[in-house]
Amino acid sequence: MRVQNLLGKTVLWTFLLIIAFITLIPVVITILGSFKTNAELTTGATFLPGNWQFANYGEAWEQANFSRYTLNSLIVAVASVIGTLLVSSMAAYVVDRMDFFGKKIYVGLQAFTMFVAVGAVVLRPQFDLMVKLNLHSSLWGVILILISAHASIFFILLSFMKGIPRELDEAALIDGSSLNRTFWRIVLPLLGPGLGVGALFTFRGAWNEYLLPLVFTMTKPELQTLTVGLANLKYGISAASQTHYMMAGACLSILPILIAYIFANKSFMQMTAGSLKG
């Protein structure tokens, strides 16, 4: 029995180490590549940089206009997080606490939009809709579309909502609290862990979004986000490949995501604990 347990743990840890290696090795290669010259990256002769090029980060910052594009990305990401959490939390509250005509259809449509990836198929209709709203050359068009893709966050918050006792709502209503006041003052604060996880997923998706900002900022380059700006680093003024600058820029763009993960770590732990108890 002890031998079987030891064998099982060995297989498990071996599998986890292989997965960790496969996941981390591209990150390590990118970080090391950001300190290499373009010639070293092209030839691929060495794993470590021959001469550490710290100036790559300064060049990437200047050429990609990081300060402006980072601000644009933050605007898109933060606005998408706020809008998505508001819409998803209110929708989850209504679905869990109330009965209304078409409830199952609504939940089914939410699931459909989450599991069926339509991708670029809906890009043209979305753009045409934003043209009619006069938002086709604005970051607000991108933000509204990102908020509309809130199905996964809706189901995360719905699962948390089911863990909040209905007796709290009933007690608040008996004390004279309105439905809106009950949601904002009682239910929403108890959704803290779910909101933290939802905020992280939404922030990551909005921060890494490339196609929508590319399409909506073609006529206004000053509104480009960081992902679009990084793609512009691929070729310099002389049309020469600048892979080393792209890697340096990619490392810089990862930092906000890492910071978000650090702040949301507690919410992940609470979410995991809740799922184990359930």
The lowest-confidence range among 45-49, 88-92, 131-135, 162-166 is 45-49
Does 94 map to a domain? yes
* Residue at 269 is within a domain: yes
CATH number at residue 200: 1.10.3720.10
How many domains does the structure of the chain reveal? 1
For 72, the domain range is 65-277
Instruction: Name the band, by pLDDT with cuts 50, 70 and 90, for residue 170.
Output: confident
Phi, psi of 238 (to 5 degrees): -90, 15
Distance from first CA to last CA of the chain, Å, rounded? Answer: 30
Task: List the Cα angle 243/256/32 in 5-degree steps.
Answer: 35
Assigned domain for 17 exists: no
* Inside any domain, residue 32: no
Is residue 151 in a domain? yes
Convert the pLDDT of each residue in 97-136 to its tens digit.
888 888 889 888 888 877 766 666 778 888 888 888 888 8
Bridge partners of 166?
A: none
Given this model, what pLDDT does residue 27 score?
A: 84
Q: Could you give the CA distance from residue 166 to residue 173 in angstroms, rounded to a whole number? A: 11
In a domain, 241, yes or no: yes
* C-alpha–C-alpha distance, residues 122 and 33, integer Å: 36
Q: 89: how many CB neighbours lie within 10 A of its CB?
A: 25
What is the pLDDT at residue 98? 85
Instruction: Decide if 217 is inside a domain.
Output: yes
Reference 222, options 106, 69, 109; nearest CA is: 69
Burial class (CB in 10 A: 0-12, 13-18, 19+), 43: exposed
Give 207-244 pLDDT, tens digit per residue: 988 888 888 888 888 888 888 888 777 655 544 567 77
Q: How far apart (Å, rounded) are the C-alpha atoms in residues 264 and 249?
A: 24
Domain for residue 34, yes or no? no
